[in-house]
Structure formats: structure tokens, C-alpha cells
Amino acid sequence: MRRIFSALLLLCAGEISGATLVKYSFDDELTDTGPDTFAVFQNAKGHVRLVSSIRYSGYRSIELRDVAGDGDFPELQGYFPERKSGELFFHFAMLVVNPDQTLNIALAGPSHFTLSKDGIAFWLKTTNGVLHQVSDSMPKRLFRVDPFVWYLVDVRYDIPHGTYDLTIHREGTEAPLVALKDQPNAVNTPESSVDKFSFVGSVYEDDSNVTFYVDDVIIGTDEKVILGPFVAPGRRKLFIDRWREAKQLMMKSPGCPPALSLADFGLKPGEDLEQQPIVKEWRSACARMDAKEFASLARERPNAPIFAMSELMALIRGNDHDAAMKRWYELEPLLKNDVRYGMIAAIADLDLAEEWLERKAPANDPDLAEQYYFLLLWKGAFSRAARFAEKQGWPERAGDALFLSGAPSQARPLYEEALRREPNSYWPTVKLSDVFHLLGDSANEKVYRQRMYGRLEE
């Protein structure tokens, strides 16, 4: 039996306009599953989950993984008010790891995913590595899908006439791979209404081991809602975009650091955030910023970084400098790969005199030097931060400062030096991918991206 998996998706920031029925980029704000949003179905073997390793834009996408022969299939099924007339616009980004395996994507109505009126209106599926549309009940070949490539799909569904236009772009290309007009809907039936969408593996045969990713799902009644691109069209947000957004979140959160995922609380996919007593305790403690309360929560959940980070913030806000620095050293292994790491360091430094730090930092004190560097970043003094980092022998941090200043070409050799020092290190590799993207070097961008995301070998 399939079961509803109470997951968390991150809703695209900003208010949804009246013309927008669905808009998920899986970032920024938390929202619950429910009858008027979406449900996630899965079993013990297949899964549907948020991931940050591969995404088209922002911080996260949805990963769907099917397992052949397990008697079930994973599915992300979303809902919106039934549309019986007018036009409907459907947009999403899709990346497939193993295109030879089966997947299905559909828009349907109150008759669910059946080939009948008010059933399936729009249907895409892969068969033996080829993407097909199902139009007038017949699968029709579109193109062979390449692995680890984002495809952008746009549909204009004319409900009264029962037809749709389909456009598909490959990431980074202007000319569409597919540009079809007036295609009969799946059942060739006018006035077939729609109220749901589905991303799923193999529905009927249970013979698929597909893994694929979905991002930037938009459904609306006005074409304008899908014309505004997400950040960095054709790829994820850049390192500099993530840094700036994290800074904005930190500035809006004068108490606790912002929570970015379920993992912050030591929760697993499927656990309901709102029903967790420890989350309610954390929110209550954030109102008081009591370091002892956070320390108690951190002991209870040692694998939940948000409690330890909140404890550190409470010590900083309480001007307990010695205790804050002690806790900072203890948490450094946990924090160093977190996008909030530098933000917390900078906030800590705001309570110290910059002149004092500038005078003391170079004096063979690596901890003070690090604080001074993050303070310069926080203030936007990127050139000074880059020069200081180079003097300290920190090529990656010098590269970050130059990257943030808008000089990716100058950041490139510093990231390359960081990689020479630590081959296969995650962040320098990702940042070099971003650098080459901004420099228009798609070949090198792909090389560094695939180091992290992988590629299929024959």
C-alpha cells in the first residue's frame, strides 16, 4: 500500500499572484503537505525527497527514485483549483539520471489519471531513453533524453478546445528542441478540466529504476507567470546568490539563525515539522535567546545543527565573548561547510571594534584573523577582504571575496590553487563551475559540475 509521506517543500519566495495557481522552487519558505497543496507517495524502497546536490535553481529540488519490482512507485502529486475553461500554463525543469528507465509526468482532472474526459489532459513519458508525448491516446516520439541535463518544459493548455502547445528547451540553448502547436490532449476531448499534476516513476509495470529531479514547478492562468526566469536560467543559483540570500535571512533573523531544512532539526524526510515538540521548544527559546535552553536542546539532538548554532548566537547576543569563542571552536567542524558559517562569524564580530581586530588580526592569531575576514565580507569590503585573505594564505576565501565583488576571472586562479591544495574539495569545485558559467566557458563549467554531480559511463 502506498502511504502519504508528510514532507516539507520550500515555496518560492514572494506572494503568489492571482494568475498563479502553483509555484514551487522548493526554497525559502516552509509549507506542509495537504489536500489543497500536494501529497508525496512512496514506500520503503522508492523515495521522493528534497535534495540540494542537484537543482535547477535555488537551494533544492525534488529527487524521485523508483525501484523495480517493489510493488509500488514514488510520486509527487500536486493540487490546484479545478480549471474548466480558459487556458492553463504549466512549466517545470527536469533532469534524468538514467533515461533508459521509465518516468511519467501528467496534468489531470477530477477523473484522475485515466484516459477519459476530465482525466489525463497532458502526458509525457520516457520509453527506452526517448521522451514521448501521449496525444489522442497515442505515444508520439519527441527526442532522446541525455542524462544529467536539465530540460525546461512549457505547456499552454487550451481547455475549451482540448489542445495544447508544447515547448521544450535544453539548458543553455535558445532554440527549442520541441515546438509543437495545437496537439490533441491525451484523450482528444474538448473541455476536459484539470486540477492536479503528477511526477512519478513506472505506474503500470513496476519495472523502473529511474532517478530524476524536478524543480521550478509553475502552473498559472496567465502566460506571464512562467515568463519570468528563476535565477541563473539553465542552472542552479550561483555561490554568490546563495551567500547574499543567506545574509538577507540572517539580517531578518535578529535572534536565532534561519532554519533551512528538516536536517537542521535532526529530522528525517517524512517527519512532520509542526508536530515535533522539540521544534516548538526551539521556537519558544528563540523568543528568549537563552543559551542554556539551546544547549539542552543540542544535547538532546546532537545531530541537529540549528540548536548548536542558536546556542552560539545566544552567547554572542549576550556579549559572553569568552563562552562564545569557546563554543565557536567546538562547533567549527560542524559549521565550516554551512552557508551560515561566515554570517555567524560576522555577526559576532560586530560586537568587537573593527580597529581592534584590524590591529590584532595579523599578529599570528588565526582565530582573530578569521573573524576580521568575515567582518570585511559582511560590510561589503570585498577588495580589502581579498587582500587580507591572500596575505593569510587563504586562496579560496580570497577567491570568494573577489567573486562577491563581481570579478570571477580574478577569483578563478585562487579557486584553482585551493583545489591543488585539496583535490576534489566540494566548495572550490562548485565555485569554479560558477566562475566558468559566468565567463561563458560552458565546456569547463560542465567539467567541474560533473565532478560533483557525476556522469554516466558506458
Please name which of 196, 198, 25 lies closest in space to residue 103, comparing C-alpha atoms. 198
Instruction: Give the pLDDT band (50/70/90) at residue 159.
Output: very high
The reported pLDDT for the residue numbered 95 is: 93
* Least confident interval from 93-107, 200-214, 313-327, 343-357: 343-357
Which of 427, 425, 398, 424 shows the shortest CA–CA distance to 413?
Answer: 398
Q: Which residues pair with 180 in a beta bridge?
A: 166
What b/e string do you get for 3-16 counting C-beta neighbours within 10 Å, with b at 16 or more?
eebbbbbbbbeeee
Q: Residue 329's pLDDT is what?
A: 76
pLDDT of residue 30: 39
User: What's the confidence (pLDDT) of residue 223?
Assistant: 67
What residue spans of 253-379 are helical by DSSP H?
A: 277-288, 291-300, 305-317, 321-335, 341-349, 354-360, 366-379
Helices 426-438 and 395-404: crossing angle in degrees, nearest 10, is 30
Rounded CA-CA distance 414/398 in Å is 7
Percent of the chain topping pLDDT 70:
71
Lowest mean pLDDT among 101-115, 227-241, 324-338: 227-241
Task: Name the residue with higher pLDDT: 6 or 442.
Answer: 442
Rounded Cα distance, 21 and 12, in Å: 12
**Residues 22, 219: contact at Cβ < 8 Å?**
yes
- State the pLDDT at residue 82: 87
Answer with the residue of higher pLDDT: 184 or 366: 184
Of 369 and 441, the one with more pLDDT: 441
Q: Determine the Cα–Cα distance for residues 182 and 157; give it in Å rounded to an integer.
A: 9
Q: Give yes or no for a contact between 166 and 178, defined as CB atoms under 8 angstroms apart.
A: yes
Cα–Cα distance for residue pair 45/200, rounded to 1 Å: 14
Cα angle value 368/371/372 (rounded, 5°)? 85
pLDDT band at 121 (very low <50, low <70, confident <90, very high): very high
Question: Taking a C-beta distance cutoff of 8 angstroms, is the pair 159, 85 a contact?
Answer: yes
pTM: 0.51
Mean pLDDT of the chain: 77
Instruction: With a cut of 80, say whether residue 198 has pLDDT above it.
Output: yes
| H helix or E strand, kind and range, residue 90 | strand 87-96
Q: How far apart are CA 195 and CA 106, in angstroms?
A: 11
End-to-end CA distance of the chain: 36
Residue 287 corresponds to which amino acid?
Answer: A
Q: Which pLDDT tens digit goes with each residue over 345-355?
A: 656 554 444 55
Q: Is the pLDDT of residue 398 over 50?
A: yes
Burial 143-166 (b: 16+ CB within 10 A, else e): eebebbebbbbbbbbbbeebbbbb
Do residues 279 and 265 lie in contact, with contact meaning Cβ atoms separated by under 8 Å? yes
Where does 68-222 have alpha helices with state H? none
Nearest alpha carbon to residue 54 among 223, 171, 180: 171
Q: What is the rounded radius of gyration, in angstroms, for the C-alpha atoms of the chain?
A: 24
In tens, the pLDDT along 16-37 reads 344 666 666 665 443 445 555 6
What was the pLDDT predicted at 353?
Answer: 40
Q: pLDDT at residue 420 above 50?
A: yes
- At residue 343, the 3 state secondary structure works out as helix
Give the pLDDT confidence score for residue 366 in this predicted structure.
67
Q: What is the mean pLDDT of residues 153-182?
A: 93
Under 8 Å CB-to-CB from 252, ≥6 apart: which residues? 258
- In this structure, is the dihedral angle defined by the CA atoms of residues 109, 156, 61 and 242, taken in order, positive or negative? negative
Q: Is the pLDDT of residue 178 over 90?
A: yes
pLDDT of 457 > 60? The answer is no
Per-residue pLDDT reduced to its tens digit, 292-351: 999 999 888 888 888 988 888 888 777 777 787 788 778 777 666 565 665 666 565 544
d(CA 243, CA 342): 9
Lowest mean pLDDT segment, chosen from 219-228, 280-289, 297-306: 219-228
pLDDT at res. 305: 84
35-53 per-position pLDDT tens digit: 556 676 666 577 787 777 7
Most confident of 137-141, 271-275, 448-452: 137-141
Q: Higher pLDDT residue, 239 or 446? A: 446
